[in-house]
Structure 1
Amino acid sequence: EWDDVLVPIIKKTLPIIIFLIGGFLFLQTLGIDLTGLWVGFGGVTFVLSFALKDILSNFFSGLVLLIDTPFQFGDVVALKDGSTAVIKSVGIRLTTLYLIESHCDLFLPNAALESEKLINFSRPNPNYYYTIIVPIRGDCDPNQAIKIIEEVVLSHPDTLGDLDKKLVAIENFYRVKDQLLETQDNLLSKKEFGHKRLIAEQKLKIKLAEIKQAMKDLISKIKFLEMEGLDGGEIRQIQGYYLEILRTIGFEIISEKTRGKKLLSLKESENMDEDTLINLLISWYENWQEDPDIIEEDNQVLRVELERKIAFLKMRMEKFLQQIVNANNSFLETKLDDYGEELWKWMEDRFQIYAAWQHPKIWMNNVTIGKTGEGTIDLAVKFFIDNVKLEQCQRGNRIRSEVHGEIVRRLRQAYFYR
């Protein structure tokens, strides 16, 4: 995080600044005239700032990148020259990026990075969009070809799509590599892993829908009660409804006294039910770690993602709890339903596994007619993959290659491929 870099910088520079200022003040208390010294110090500062302008520019650019950052450490970005890199660290003068294709580090001055046009593949989530161009025979039935292609894309465990359709299609997933895994009892084949993870995703989706309905009901109750103002009994009633939602998620309220004031906060329930949102989320990530394609470093990536999601969820739910408790404040009272809607929209954005617009799309891209009259139809196959950060950021390339290869194989079997 940014403070892991900024705090050490402050710790190193602050004592020097305090020592210099303290020294000047001490000499002034002794009655020494420091006018000439101040003038000399100003001149030296001007000369140094001119000589070190590039270093100072990089330093302040680094602070801007850390505070008003367009990325997090570990995000995958595309640079101006088209190369793909991972943000490793931001230092006082340089930012370190790992170039994926060339497997080396790039040290970029902070001032240059601040003015660089970046495409962040990890925002708003690590899903990534790929397009494959597939040529088919002009005399074949394009609708039948599209049906075959869609089934291939949906059958791959690492692409996004409607969960119910993927659970049916995954039974037709085929990969030569998985035949080697069948002889090893401690490893799941890709198909087995995919089916297991899809079931976990489906349970998580159902729980999110349940929480969404509970939040909508809570917001409706708040709007009704707000019409004539909220009294103490109505605020406690809203707290009771919210407490049930917190239990469904897996949080419990703890009360602490600080300076005579009672403060409420949240913590993960020690004896939460198995079907709470947090437990289902943990189960989903644990299933993901059984993927036969991920590497050892990916376990840390997935663990950090999980911990970050739960930490942000706790922070957001805590904030709404405080707003409910303090709802007798005339300003907060009229805004409480807005805060509830804002909270749900955030949850839907951060925890939604799959959106309808992420379903694979197959479009007709181009039609050409050869000299012999034979035609070719180019189909653009567009699909999302689940996490571009995994497998040293090569997961997307692997998935695209496997999907493309299986599409070609299946279309050739049907005599559709050109």
Structure 2
Amino acid sequence: MQLDLFAVQLQEILQEAIYVLIDLAIKLAGATGLYFILFYLLRSLFRKFERDIALVTLNVSSYPVLAIFILIAFKVTIQNTVSLATVVWLEQLFIGGIIIAISYWSLQLFKQVLVYYLKEYAAITEVMWDDVLIPLLEGVIPSVIVLVGGSAVLQLCFGLDLTGAWLTLGGGAFVIGFAVKDILANFFSGIVLLLDSPFQFGDVLRIETESGTQLGILRKIGVRVTRFYMFETHTEVYIPNSVMQSQRLTNLSRPIEPVYFFTTIELTPKCDLEQARYVMQEIIQAHPDTLGDIETKLDCLERYYDWTNVADDFVAKKKNGKKRLLAENAVNEKLEEIEQSLEALIITLQFVEEGGLTQEEIETVQQEFNDVLELIGLTVLHQSVHRRPSFFNLKQVQSSFHLEETQDADSLIKLVRQWYRIWLRDPNVVDQDEYVLPEIWEHKIKLLKRRVQKLHQKIMNPLQEETRLDDYVKRLVEWLRDRFKQARSQWQEPQVRMEGVVHYEGYTYIQFILNYYVDDIRLEDGARGIRVNSDIHREIMRHLKEDCQSRGV
């Protein structure tokens, strides 16, 4: 009897062992197949993609996914095995392993994929909130993942009841929140500044404080404080965000980047006042660093600032100024040509979009936009197109494309780079400007390429948005005029006005007010406007000292 019972038990053990071995063999085959798919099949496929996000995601996910598959397979095997199903600690061990593997996978996906590409996206956007939100998420989300994963392990594997801990944590958070209310006020003020901001990184702001007025460049809006670089003291100043909301600030970089300056000069009534006004206006116009009609500036520059025997650096300044103005004029002409082409494209779209685009009209629009791309300095590479019929017409659908810069020296991108590189050879720029100018313009070029690529994608895929294409083109034109490079307008021309009569120590003087714009106050550590003002006064005194007696500034 005992032998029969032993034989039955032995048979059950053998059957269970055979089942476990077969089950493990099947799961091992599945793991091997998954390994082949992850490390060979998908890897070779993703390497063909233009962007590396799929390949990076695969590299991050391969081992965690394989580990999770193996752990789940062992857990299922244990549950289906009678002798092992009663071993509670073994099942808890695999549950803990699965939770840890999922937590590790989530952490790596967040840090190496999501954060990396969010930072890459933030580098080419014009908004500011993502530059602060991403570091904030980078610091908070990993802690949350570890906290949730650790809590799940403690609760599911060790059977700990964490209800009391969560209640304690909530009460502690309330107490801590009350204690750090000022920090929270700064935090939420920073969020408000980011979402509804009247300025952007790099803008020049006039900050009015109790001690006076200072100029500074906005460097960063942080979680708690806003950071400025102050021109006068060459230091960084940190202002709490809650104070920033009530601070009186003047944005000198908006709506245009050139900064307005004015100064006064008093002349005796004995001189030819009209001639003096004309000379002063030409002197302002002739300075390479003030705004004005470029052709007029080049003409005036030939007659003024001839400081050969006085200042050798201004001889080089004058020579560089001519080259810079000519290079800027080439940029302006190219921008005008691009805007005219885009406006012609708008007219074409408005004409053909009524009633839906036919295949011939689509090709016409695409060809016109390709001409615009050529003017900008971009060309379409790796383009594959397939066609599919719609209800009325044959539509052309873009499946993949990539915009790449051309080598055309007459394109907008090349002309802009040539312009700012000539600017960098200005004798007055300081070492820091060698990084400021390229950073400003390369960022604008990136934004231009991104906007053009989005518009190109819409034009190549006109389905469902064919009636809005003209609006998208209009937005690009507006952005080029307002944000890429603002055209020199009539109201930016230098002005010299006779303001009134001034009496000083028994003498009478006629007061003139000189109004002008300096091209970029961010250069020369914020002292560019002061230096330009000094140059203008010096040249005025040099020309008028023989005919007029001036009281100066």
TM-score after normalising by structure 2: 0.68
- 1:250–1:273 CA contact under 8 A, matched in 2: yes
Query: Number of residues paired by the alignment?
Result: 408
Q: Is the 8 A contact 1:201 1:353 kept in 2?
A: no
Task: Decide whether aligned partners of structure 1 residues 298 and 263 sit closer, same or farther in structure 2, where only a CA change above 3 A counts.
Answer: same
Cα deviation code 1:324-380 (max 9, x no counterpart): 223231xx22222222222112112222352221100112222346897x6432111
The range that moved more, 104-113 or 283-292, is 104-113
One of 398, 403, 418 as aligned partner of 1:266: 403
C-alpha contact (below 8 Å) 2:271/2:547 kept by paired residues? no
Report the CA distance shift for 1:237/1:311 in structure 2 as closer, same or farther (over 3 A): same
- How far has the Cα of 1:176 moved from its partner? 4.5
CA distance in 2, matches of 1:173, 1:255: 53
State, as a whole percentage, how many aligned pairs show the same letter.
Answer: 38
- Which of the residues 357, 367, 370 maps onto 2:491? 357
Q: Which residue of 2 aligns with 1:227?
A: 354
Q: Assess if the C-alpha contact under 8 Å between 1:129 and 1:383 holds in 2.
A: yes
The answer on whether the counterparts of 2:398 and 2:460 sit within 8 Å (CA) in structure 1 is no
Distance 2:468 2:398 in 1: 24
User: Relative contact order (C-alpha < 8 Å, sep 6+): which is higher?
Assistant: 1
- Note closer, same or farther for the CA distance 1:178–1:86 as it changes in structure 2 (3 Å cut): farther
Letter in 1 for 2:169: F
Cα distance change of structure 1 residues 256 and 64 upon mapping to structure 2, 3 Å threshold: farther
The 1:180–1:368 alpha-carbon spacing in structure 2 relative to 1, beyond 3 Å, is closer
In the alignment, the residues of structure 2 paired with residue 287 and residue 268 of structure 1 have an alpha-carbon distance, to the nearest angstrom, of 21
Aligned residue in 1 for 2:523: 390
Of stretches 89-98 and 51-60 in structure 1, the one that deviates more from structure 2 is 89-98
The answer to whether the aligner puts 1:305 opposite 2:440 as a matched pair is yes
Shift of the 151–416 alpha-carbon distance from structure 1 to 2, 3 Å rule, reads farther
**Are 1:346 and 2:483 matched, yes or no?**
no
Aligned partners of 2:309 and 2:356: how far apart in 1?
Answer: 63
Alpha-carbon contact 1:159-1:384 (below 8 Å) kept: yes
**C-alpha distance in 2 between matches for 1:320 and 1:345:** 14
One-letter code aligned to 2:530: N
Instruction: Measure how far apart 1:317 and its partner are.
Output: 1.3
- The offset of 1:78, in angstroms, is 1.3
Aligned CA-pair RMSD: 2.7
Letter in 1 for 2:404: K
- 1:89 aligned partner: 220
Judged with a 3 Å threshold, the aligned counterparts in structure 2 of structure 1 residues 87 and 362 are, in CA distance, closer, same or farther, namely same
Q: How does 1:2-401 map to 2 (within 5 A)?
A: 3=130, 5-29=132-156, 32-66=160-194, 68-81=196-209, 82-174=213-305, 176=307, 179=310, 181=312, 189-255=316-382, 262-269=399-406, 272-329=407-464, 332-349=465-482, 350-368=484-502, 375-401=508-534
The alpha-carbon deviation at position 266 of structure 1 amounts to 1.9
Query: In structure 2, how many angstroms separate the alpha carbons of the residues matched to 1:177 and 1:84?
Result: 33
| 3-state SS in 1 of match to 2:466 | helix
Tell me, in whole angstroms, the C-alpha distance in 1 between the residues paired with 2:496 and 2:524. 27
In structure 2, the gaps of 5 or more residues are: 1-122, 386-396
Q: Distance in 1 between matches of 2:326 and 2:296?
A: 12
Q: What secondary structure sits across from 1:333 in the alignment?
A: coil
Compute the displacement of 1:256 (Å).
5.8
Paired with 1:16 and 1:252, the residues of 2 have a C-alpha distance of: 45
DSSP-derived class of the 1:172 partner? coil
Distance 1:12 1:378 in 2: 59
- Amino acid in the other structure paired with 1:238: V
Q: Partners in 2 of 1:207 and 1:309 — Cα distance?
A: 16
Contact 1:126–1:389 (Cα < 8 Å) also in 2: no
Select between 45-54 and 199-208 the one with higher mean Cα deviation: 199-208
Assess if the C-alpha contact under 8 Å between 2:205 and 2:252 holds in 1.
yes
Say which is worse superposed, 237-246 or 11-20, in terms of deviation: 11-20
Query: 1:290 and 1:80, CA in 2 relative to 1: closer, same or farther beyond 3 A?
Result: same
Q: Tell me how far 1:234 sits from its aligned partner.
A: 0.6
Q: How far apart are 1:261 and its partner, in Å? A: 7.5
Amino acid aligned to 1:362 = V
How many Å apart are 1:177 and its aligned residue?
A: 8.1
* Kept after mapping to 2: 8 A contact 1:136/1:378: yes
1:364 aligned partner, one-letter code: M
Mapped contact 2:270–2:548 kept (Cα < 8 A): no
Report deviation, 1:34.
Answer: 3.7
Calculate the TM-score normalised by the size of structure 1: 0.88
Q: CA deviation at 1:139?
A: 4.6
The aligned counterpart of 2:19 is: none
Matched residue type, 1:388: I
Judge conservation of contact 2:221–2:227 (CA < 8 Å) in 1: yes
CA distance in 2, matches of 1:414, 1:25: 89
Q: What's the CA shift for 1:80?
A: 2.4
Alignment CA distance shift 1:368-1:111 (3 Å): closer
Give, in angstroms, the shift of residue 54 of structure 1: 1.5
Give the conservation status (yes or no) of the 8 Å contact 1:76–1:86.
yes
CA contact (8 A) 1:362 1:380 kept: yes
Structure with higher Rg: it is: 2
Deviation at residue 141 of structure 1 after TM alignment: 3.8
Cα distance between partner residues in 2 of 1:178 and 1:352: 37
Please say if 1:414 is aligned against 2:547.
yes
1:142 Cα shift? 3.1
Gaps of 5+ in 1: none
What CA distance in whole angstroms lies between the structure 2 residues aligned with 1:292 and 1:378? 33
SS at 1:134 equivalent: strand
Residue 106 of structure 1 aligns to which amino acid in structure 2? V
Verify the 8 A CA contact 2:398 2:457 in the aligned structure 1. no
